[in-house]
């Protein structure tokens, strides 16, 4: 069988992580966050989202250096929970079958939403446009990792150019009051920080992807050093960019416009640079969205491959291309399922993603990291989370808030997936025992 190749270094890893994190997220969620918080208090959601990302990122960085390898959370959970690890890691894998295509579909739907700024007629065919983008991405990923790594640098350059233009245009108009969320009035008649749970789920979505490098661990050079550095650098950089970008937007657009616009960044750029310039820059936003979809499908395809290679999933997903060494079955599966999800509404897709993933892998992974610390204190840890156990406590607390928040929506969706996965695991085990009996 062909083997995965270690062709991803520090800069290509950072490129893959950052294009996954940025994507279309901040360009489509700003109105949702502001509307949930009744205006400028939405800045608190971005701050808390960044705090959750760096806290959870430090946990993930420790685990990735301690247990490097393709599959990321799948490998971490399997190892951390001992005998129960096979079940918990399988549950993670099971939810990936749904949440990964949903994540890719969200990027495709966001892409289609901004496409209408450039091609107005596309606004009548959002679902079709999103499906086409998904299929094109799938076809581009059917190649070896070295060429993908080079392509990621090109995509990354487009992402940085987009962010530089968006922030650069607004900096002269930036008002420091935009950061003073506690002074912002509510325009919806709400009280205090009502709606923070809903706003936080959208903000956290914007930061998701900081762990993407872990999914391709077997293709990273010096993974015990490179992966933690990629995670930390990506989160700190993107967090600073998000805060400044959102503050610029709030400083320029009337709040009621920012709360309701379906293409808020295009409206922001039109107010600053004119409609024609906004259309041209929207092309870069589309570039950024496509880059994220590309990175997502790349990372998740490696999870299915790693699980199948481990014998904990259908063996067909372990197949690699005979000469180019990429998991073509996993890529084709994810692309096709994501294309089917492109017909759903964006709001429901975003809520479903976090509903499904909050408990497994995120909360389970944090607990697993603490278990490993106590069970194997002398185990080599090339990277140790800073200020342990504070990052684990903060991350677990914020994830718990997201799970129990009354504004979250689809609160039991994740439990349904966990229950279905457990049933599938038990039935499969029973069938396997019958065959060997």
* Digit-coded pLDDT (tens) for 63-98: 998 888 767 888 899 899 988 998 998 898 888 888
Residue 161 falls inside a structural domain? yes
Residue 348 has what pLDDT?
80
Give first-to-last CA distance, the chain, whole Å. 30
- Give phi and psi for 321, each to the nearest 5: -60, 135
Q: What is the DSSP letter of 412?
A: T
- pLDDT-derived band of residue 182, with 50, 70 and 90 as boundaries? very high
Q: What residue has token string 């005998």? A: 83
Mean pLDDT confidence for 395-401: 93
Query: Taking 70 as the threshold, does the pLDDT of residue 411 lie above it?
Result: no
Query: Taking 90 as the threshold, does the pLDDT of residue 15 lie above it?
Result: no
Residue 405 in tokens = 């928040």
Residue 175 has what pLDDT?
93
Residue 2 falls inside a structural domain? no
CA distances from 270 to 117, 277, 278, 280, 310 (A): 11, 7, 5, 10, 52
Residue 215 neighbours by CB under 8 Å, 6+ apart: 70, 71, 72, 298, 299, 300, 302, 303
Query: Taking 60 as the threshold, does the pLDDT of residue 2 lie above it?
Result: no
Mean pLDDT confidence for 231-251: 94
What is the per-residue burial (b if ≥16 Cβ within 10 Å, else e) of 161-175? ebbebbbebbeeebe
Q: By three-state DSSP, how is residue 8 classified?
A: strand
| Prediction pTM value | 0.85
Residue 1 has what pLDDT?
41
As for how many domains the chain has, the answer is: 1
- pLDDT-derived band of residue 149, with 50, 70 and 90 as boundaries? low
Query: Taking 90 as the threshold, does the pLDDT of residue 7 lie above it?
Result: no
Check if the beta carbon of residue 87 is closer than 8 Å to that of residue 95: no
pLDDT digits (tens, 9 = 90+) for 275-321: 888 888 888 888 878 877 877 787 788 778 877 887 777 778 888 87
* More confident of the two residues 143 and 83: 83
Q: Is 276 exposed, middle or buried (0-12, 13-18, 19+ CB in 10 A)?
A: exposed
Measured on CA atoms in the order 388, 390, 394, 400, is the torsion positive or negative?
positive
Residue 421 falls inside a structural domain? yes
The CATH number of whichever domain residue 349 belongs to comes to: 1.20.1740.10
Check if the beta carbon of residue 231 is closer than 8 Å to that of residue 213: yes
pLDDT digits (tens, 9 = 90+) for 321-339: 766 777 888 889 999 999 9
Mean pLDDT confidence for 139-144: 77
Check if the beta carbon of residue 165 is closer than 8 Å to that of residue 291: no
Mean pLDDT confidence for 356-382: 91
Check if the beta carbon of residue 349 is closer than 8 Å to that of residue 116: no
Check if the beta carbon of residue 15 is closer than 8 Å to that of residue 233: no
Residue 1 falls inside a structural domain? no
Residue 3 has what pLDDT?
59
- pLDDT-derived band of residue 409, with 50, 70 and 90 as boundaries? very low
**How far apart are alpha carbons 435 and 349 in whole angstroms?**
39
Q: By three-state DSSP, how is residue 195 classified?
A: coil
Residue 350 has what pLDDT?
82
> The domain containing residue 232 runs over which residues?
10-436
Which CB contacts under 8 angstroms, 24+ apart, belong to 363-367?
Answer: 363/396, 363/399, 363/400, 363/403, 364/77, 364/81, 364/88, 364/92, 365/59, 365/60, 365/63, 365/73, 365/76, 365/77, 365/80, 366/56, 366/59, 366/392, 366/395, 366/396, 366/399, 367/396
Residue 3 falls inside a structural domain? no
């Amino acid at each position: 069988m062909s083997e995965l190749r270690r062709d991803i270094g520090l800069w290509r890893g950072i490129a893959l992580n950052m294009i996954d994190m940025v994507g279309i997220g901040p360009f489509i969620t700003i109105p949702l966050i502001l509307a949930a918080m009744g205006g400028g208090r939405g800045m608190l959601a971005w701050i808390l989202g960044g705090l959750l990302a760096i806290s959870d990122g430090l946990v993930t960085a420790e685990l990735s250096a301690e247990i490097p390898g393709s599959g990321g959370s799948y490998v971490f959970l399997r190892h951390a929970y001992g005998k129960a690890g096979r079940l918990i890691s399988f549950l993670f894998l099971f939810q990936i079958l749904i949440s990964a295509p949903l994540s890719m579909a969200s990027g495709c739907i966001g892409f289609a939403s901004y496409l209408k700024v450039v091609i107005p007629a596309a606004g009548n065919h959002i679902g079709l446009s999103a499906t086409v983008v998904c299929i094109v991405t799938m076809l581009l990923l059917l190649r070896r990792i070295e060429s993908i790594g080079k392509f990621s640098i090109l995509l990354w350059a487009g992402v940085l150019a987009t962010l530089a233009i968006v922030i650069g245009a607004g900096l002269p108009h930036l008002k420091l009051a935009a950061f003073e969320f506690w002074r912002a009035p509510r325009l919806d008649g709400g009280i205090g920080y009502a709606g923070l749970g809903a706003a936080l789920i959208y903000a956290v979505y914007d930061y998701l992807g900081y762990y993407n490098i872990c999914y391709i661990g077997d293709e990273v050079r010096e993974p015990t050093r490179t992966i933690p550095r990629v995670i930390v650098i990506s989160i700190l950089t993107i967090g600073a960019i998000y805060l400044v970008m959102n503050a610029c937007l709030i400083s320029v657009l009337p709040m009621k416009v920012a709360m309701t616009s379906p293409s808020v960044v295009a409206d922001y750029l039109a107010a600053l640079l004119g409609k024609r310039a906004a259309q041209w820059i929207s092309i870069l936003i589309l570039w950024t969205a496509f880059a994220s979809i590309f990175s997502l499908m790349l990372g998740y395809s490696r999870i299915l491959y790693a699980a199948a290679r481990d014998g904990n999933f259908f063996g067909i997903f372990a197949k690699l291309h005979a000469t180019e060494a990429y998991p073509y079955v996993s890529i084709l599966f994810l692309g096709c399922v994501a294309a089917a999800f492109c017909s759903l509404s964006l709001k429901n897709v975003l809520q479903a993603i976090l509903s499904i993933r909050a408990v497994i892998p995120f909360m389970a992974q944090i607990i697993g990291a603490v278990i490993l610390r106590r069970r194997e204190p002398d185990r080599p840890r090339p990277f140790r989370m800073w200020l342990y156990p504070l990052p684990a406590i903060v991350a677990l607390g914020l994830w718990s808030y997201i799970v129990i928040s009354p504004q979250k929506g689809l609160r039991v969706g994740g439990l349904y997936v966990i229950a279905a996965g457990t049933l599938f695991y038990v039935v499969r085990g029973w069938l396997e025992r019958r065959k060997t009996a």
